[in-house]
Structures are given as structure tokens and as C-alpha cells.
């Protein structure tokens, strides 16, 4: 669990998620916002996969 919390890639993805959430709440919900959410999910999945790959012996 500590590997996930201290990983810079996951921290970066979470920080960008907070920024994206703020933008979503402030502005209109357009197709560009949906693309931003899709790219954020992809980056989060890739960050988690990188941490899991690093944990393998």
C-alpha cells in the first residue's frame, strides 16, 4: 500500500484529478470535458500498472 501512496506518478494523477474535478464543477459539461476524464482515467490506470510492475520480483 505504501508503494501506491508514495509513488510520484500516482500523486501526479491524483493532483490532476482534483484539478479536473474543479474544472468540471465550474464549467459546462462538454465533450472536451469527457475526453479529459477519459485521458485522466487512462493515466491513472497506467500509473497503477507501473507501480504494480515495479513490485514484481
What whole-number distance in Å separates Cα of residue 52 and Cα of residue 57?
10
| Residue linked to cell 464543477 | 25
What whole-number distance in Å separates Cα of residue 53 and Cα of residue 31?
33
Query: Per residue in 9-41, pLDDT tens?
Result: 889 999 999 999 999 999 999 999 999 999 999
| Domains identified in the chain, total number | 1
What whole-number distance in Å separates Cα of residue 51 and Cα of residue 57?
12
Domain housing 37 = 2-55
How high is the pLDDT of residue 36? 95
Amino acid at each position: 500500500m505504501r508503494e501506491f501512496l508514495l509513488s510520484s506518478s500516482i500523486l501526479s494523477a491524483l493532483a490532476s484529478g482534483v484539478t479536473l474535478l474543479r474544472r468540471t464543477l465550474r464549467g459546462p459539461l462538454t465533450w472536451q470535458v469527457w475526453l479529459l476524464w477519459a485521458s485522466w482515467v487512462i493515466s491513472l490506470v497506467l500509473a497503477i500498472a507501473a507501480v504494480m510492475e515495479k513490485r514484481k520480483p
